[in-house]
Amino acid sequence: MEAISDDVLKRTHTCGQLRDTDIGAKVSLAGWVRSYRDHGGVVFIDLRDRDGITQVVFDLPAEGDQAAQAMYELARALRNEWVIAVTGKVRSRGCERENPKLPTGKIEVLGESLTVLNRSDTVPFEPDEFGSVSEETRLKYRYIDLRRPVMARALTLRHRICKAMRDVLDAKGFLEVETPFLTKSTPEGARDFLVPSRMSQACFYALPQSPQLFKQILMVGGLDKYFQIVRCFRDEDLRANRQPEFTQLDMEMAFVSERDVIGVTNDVLRAVCAAAGKSFPDEVPRISHAEAMDKYGCDRPDTRFEMFLHDVGDIVKDCEFKVFSATVAPGGLVKALAVGGGAKFTRKEIDGYTAYAGDFGAKGLAWCKIENGEFTGTPAKFLSEGVQARLREVCSAGEGDILFFVADTPANTNKILAALRLKIAGDLKLFDADEFAWCWVVDWPLVEWDAEAGRWDSMHHPFTSPRLTDADKLESDPGAVMARAYDIVCNGVELGGGSIRIHDPQLQRRAFSLLGIGEDEAAEKFGFLLDALRYGAPPHGGIALGLDRIVMMMVGAPSLRDVIAFPKTQRGVCPLTGAPAEVDDKQLSELDLKIIVPPE
Ligand code: ASP
């Protein structure tokens, strides 16, 4: 390939910029050949860069003009995804050749010089045809996938959102401070990624699940207002929308209460929404954890539509339908979901919902339709008129509605009906796809009972402060202790969570002990935090927002992988680089590690 002079690389515009007001201008563009059409006498090239597409035209030159002839021949030889630089004049396409779908669709550039900057082998897929290849292939050739305008738009918006976050926080006096990646196990409750240390034999670093302890220590260090757009690592089984490494906007502030953290977060989210061209409410509704569980069956309520769940245990506890009454007595939960107009559901649709509920662990799905003033469906004949009347009243159900019932343990009943509520609302289109409904979930319990492990577990993490008026119940009635924690939820997706922290080492010890973390374990795992709390820790609190998830919502993308430049697959693999991969023996021996492959 010939040497390329620097001048050829100088661009006057991007491929998304030119408009009819530029007609007559001499311009230089560079980019990738998105498509070529040779109409015998005229060659059309769609030239693409991150910013857009511009049509470039090479006309058959007058006979005898050898330089122009050579350029024309070169234009005819161009193939998809070759990289070229073009100089030429902007001209109108004329009404009948305009492309209203492209912002540059009114103009084209008449090529006057053309340089091939690089050729491309035949690509494994055209960026525009990404839908015809597997995601694995798209991720393997991510550099081609990234040429799709949608990807460029997503990453551009991601950048704008990060900038908006930084601008708001900078204006409020926050400092962005980096915290270590090679660190000790951190306490978000997931599995750690471990990194063996070469210099300390048989010792490992853990990649941080979040900067939680460091940001608290920054507060003890007097940094006052901290934030960081930071990568976190959690070695979890990757459900549909999780990544082993993901990005958080992490914040911590000293001398604050819940109200302050929520206020700052609202301001950040308002700026994020503005950057994405969306509005954000002046007042974000707050809902207690108890109310969320009661009405929505989950702690991240989708508040775009109502269709609440109703606890009907009291109404059905003595009824003759044993599935209901036998559940209530031993502490189970019977709840109903009333679907307006649902009596129209066919048998097949109801069977479909029963199967759907089954995926979430339902042993069955009882239902009653209200038709011609009467209850129909299996339980109907076991429900007295009085019970039926009270069900209608409590569920605000009327003629033409259907009631779905689940009777199970409280956790299962809520899980199943919460999922069914979302499914039915989606099917009935009870909300617009581009609608945003925000809410803060507040008043969380500090701990929940983990029956399997037989111990109390943090609802948030072990550094969350109990409500101070509840602190005396830490030992006597832990389940009744409320936490100073808050979650921000949008459209049923948890976008972030945080809390006011414990800043008193004595209280922190009691919290550890409640969680079954004894003195020795606390000293070994979190001794450095306990030490720091002894030396003048200010009251402090913070929050972390999931950046990938926020960008995904703002872009309206179906997957986190659509808003991360180099994501991993659901098996935690990077198809581009092939990570994770085996390492050679020398690397292993330097680390004093030996791989023992278990026998088949
Ligand atoms: N460290 C917490 C998390 O990653 C957030 C916080 O409490 O600030 O979920």
- Asked if pLDDT for residue 218 goes beyond 70, the answer is yes
Cα–Cα dist 278/258, whole Å: 26
For the segment 263-318, what is each residue's pLDDT rounded down to a tens digit? 999 999 999 999 999 999 999 999 999 999 999 999 999 999 999 999 999 999 99
Q: What would the two tokens of residue 266 be?
A: 């609202």
For the segment 152-206, what is each residue's pLDDT rounded down to a tens digit? 999 999 999 999 999 999 999 999 999 999 999 877 788 999 999 999 989 999 9
For the segment 312-352, what is each residue's pLDDT rounded down to a tens digit? 999 999 999 999 999 998 999 999 999 999 989 999 999 99
What's the pLDDT at 378?
Answer: 92
547 lines ligand 1 (CB under 6 A): no
247 lines ligand 1 (CB under 6 A): no
* Ligand 1 atom at minimal distance to the Cα of residue 248: 4
CA of 417 to the centre of ligand 1 (A): 28
- CB atoms < 10 A from the CB of 65, how many? 11
Cα–Cα dist 126/79, whole Å: 12
For the segment 385-436, what is each residue's pLDDT rounded down to a tens digit? 999 999 999 999 999 999 999 999 999 999 999 999 999 999 999 999 888 9
Residue nearest to atom 1 of ligand 1 (CA): 212
For the segment 112-139, what is each residue's pLDDT rounded down to a tens digit? 999 999 999 999 999 998 888 999 999 9
* Ligand 1 atom at minimal distance to the Cα of residue 485: 7
Residue nearest to atom 3 of ligand 1 (CA): 544
Q: β-strands 286-288, 438-442: how paired? A: parallel
3-state secondary structure of 543: strand
What's the pLDDT at 240?
Answer: 66
Cis omega (within 30 of 0) for bond into 580: yes
187 lines ligand 1 (CB under 6 A): no
Cα–Cα dist 51/295, whole Å: 46
487 lines ligand 1 (CB under 6 A): no
- What DSSP string runs through 429-450? T-S-TT---EEEEE--BSEEEE
Residue nearest to atom 4 of ligand 1 (CA): 210
φ, ψ of residue 49 in degrees (nearest 5): -135, -175
For the segment 500-556, what is each residue's pLDDT rounded down to a tens digit? 999 999 999 999 999 999 999 999 989 999 999 999 999 999 999 999 999 999 999
For the segment 440-495, what is each residue's pLDDT rounded down to a tens digit? 999 999 999 998 899 999 999 999 999 999 999 999 999 999 999 999 999 999 99
* pTM of the complete model beyond 0.75: yes
Would you say the C-alpha torsion 460, 442, 419, 320 has a positive or negative sign?
positive
What's the pLDDT at 595?
Answer: 93
Cα–Cα dist 30/215, whole Å: 45
Tell me which of 188, 265, 529 to substitute to probe ligand 1's pocket, judged by most ligand atoms within 8 Å of the beta carbon: 188
3-state secondary structure of 187: coil
CA of 176 to the centre of ligand 1 (A): 16
* Ligand 1 atom at minimal distance to the Cα of residue 215: 8
- CB atoms < 10 A from the CB of 274, how many? 15
* Ligand 1 atom at minimal distance to the Cα of residue 464: 7
542 lines ligand 1 (CB under 6 A): yes
Tell me which of 215, 250, 545 to substitute to probe ligand 1's pocket, judged by most ligand atoms within 8 Å of the beta carbon: 250
465 lines ligand 1 (CB under 6 A): no
